[in-house]
Structure 1
């Protein structure tokens, strides 16, 4: 069985689940609350309205709601195999358990990507309503929004890999959810220390915090620096993903 065939099977498993409605919840909450909170301050002369709305919406989203939604998605994907000993049936197929874990992780990344698309679409709709209501004629900064949404997606990859590794290591959903929650909660605190570079759960939030810094100081160079972040994030991503891939189904194979 090829990887692509296995990937199709994994998508069929989650097709009729409740993951799709779930990825609408967090974007809807943060976009509506973020835009509504700023809308009362808008005047026709207001400048950089789109950037202000994005930062207002994305701060809580990046630090908490996006990671929390991904934790639930991890558990829901893993839960498809724990029901009715499904993992044993899958491991009996002529396919490596490493490949199976990698396919599930790809499904997880697909839903992360879909949630970012939903967030962007909802934000644009809410932003148009807010700016038109306030009489603001500022053009939609589509490249600005695409840049930061792509940044959110990429900076979430190490933490999503860590979430998946924890979900694989701890079979009981309560344990995996609880541990991941404990790691998400202090993210905003760690982001304000030099340790943020080795704490993947705060990467996306730190990125938005940097966009806030650029917005308030009108910085040209930008507060977010790729080095040493990029090699450190890539190393963490590779290590935790290796743990997830190698440990998946290991207990059942004994």
Structure 2
């Protein structure tokens, strides 16, 4: 069985799960509340309404709601194998457990991508309603929104790999959820220290914080620098993903 066939099977496993409704919850909550709170301050002469709405919505979403939803998705994907000795049945087949873990992580990345798409679509719809109701004629900045949503997706990947590694290492769902939650909560605090570069749980939130800096700063220099962030993020992503892949199903093989 090749990797594409294995990936197809993994998507079939989660086809009837509640993951799809779940990825709508966080974007709907944060966009509706964020834009509703901010739109009351709008006037027809208001400028930069779209960046203001994006930052207002994305700050809480990037630091908390997005990681929280991905933690649940991790547990739901992992739980498909733990029920009814599903893991032992899968490992009994001539399938590499390394490929199986990678396939599951690819499914996880797909749902992260889908949630970002939902966030973008919901945000644009809510933003258009808010600007039109307030008489603002500012053009929808599609490229701006695509750039920052793509940035959110990419900066969440190291955190997602860490979440998956923790889910693989701890069989108890409550333990893995609790540990991941404990790591997510201090993200906003760590982002304001020099140690943020090594803390993947704050990457996406730090990116939005930098967009806030760019929005309010008078100088054109951006607050987010790819160096040394990119090498560190890639290193963390590779290390934790290798850990997740090598440890997946290892206990059941004994």
Shift of 1:219: 3.7
**Secondary structure in 2 matching 1:220:** coil
Q: 5+ residue gaps in structure 2?
A: none
CA distance in 2: counterparts of 1:82 and 1:220, whole angstroms = 51
1: CA distance between counterparts of 2:76 and 2:66?
Answer: 15
Distance, in Å, in 2 between the alignment partners of 1:54 and 1:100 is 37
**Superposed displacement of residue 220, structure 1:** 1.9
Partner of 2:152: 152
Q: Which residue of 2 aligns with 1:169?
A: 169
Residue 218 of structure 1 and its aligned partner are, at CA, apart by: 4.0
Q: CA deviation at 1:29?
A: 0.4
C-alpha distance in 1, partners of 2:219/2:174? 44
> 2:93 maps to what in 1?
93
Please show how residues 192-211 of structure 1 align to structure 2 within 5 Å: 192-211=192-211
Q: Secondary structure at the match of 1:57?
A: helix
How many residues align structurally?
A: 254
Alpha-carbon offset, residue 93 of structure 1: 1.2
State the partner residue of 2:59: 59
**How far apart, in 1, do the equivalents of 2:94 and 2:59 lie?**
45
CA distances 1:16-35 after superposition (whole Å, capped 9, x unpaired): 00000000000000000000
Matched residue, 2:130: 130
Corresponding position of 2:13: 13
Q: Which residue of 2 aligns with 1:24?
A: 24
Compute the displacement of 1:67 (Å). Answer: 0.2
Q: TM-score, normalised by structure 2?
A: 0.99
Partner of 1:41 in structure 2?
41
Structure 1: gaps spanning 5 or more residues: none
Q: Is 1:216–2:212 an aligned residue pair?
A: no
**In structure 1, C-alpha distance between the alignment counterparts of 2:22 and 2:219, rounded to whole Å:** 36
Q: In structure 2, what is the Cα distance between the partners aligned to 1:38 and 1:177?
A: 32
Structure 1: distance between partners of 2:218 and 2:248: 47
Task: Kindly provide the CA deviation profile for residues 148-179 of structure 1, in whole angstroms up to 9, marking residues without a partner as x.
Answer: 00000000000000000000000110000000
Provide closer, same or farther for how the CA distance between residues 95 and 126 of structure 1 changes in structure 2, counting only shifts above 3 A: same
RMSD of Structure 2 on Structure 1 (CA): 0.5
CA distance in structure 1 between the partners assigned to 2:227 and 2:159 by the alignment = 18
User: What are the Cα deviations for residues 16-74 of structure 1, in whole angstroms up to 9, with x where unaligned?
Assistant: 00000000000000000000000100000000000000000000000000000000000
Deviation at 1:191, TM superposition (A): 0.0
- For residue 15 of structure 1, give the secondary structure of its aligned residue in structure 2: coil
Q: Which moved more, 1:179-188 or 1:209-218?
A: 209-218
CA distance, structure 2, for counterparts of residue 232 and residue 181 of structure 1: 22
Provide the C-alpha distance between the structure 1 equivalents of 2:93 and 2:70, rounded to a whole number of angstroms.
Answer: 28
- Per the alignment, do residues 19 and 219 of structure 1 end up closer, same or farther by CA in structure 2, a change over 3 Å counting? farther
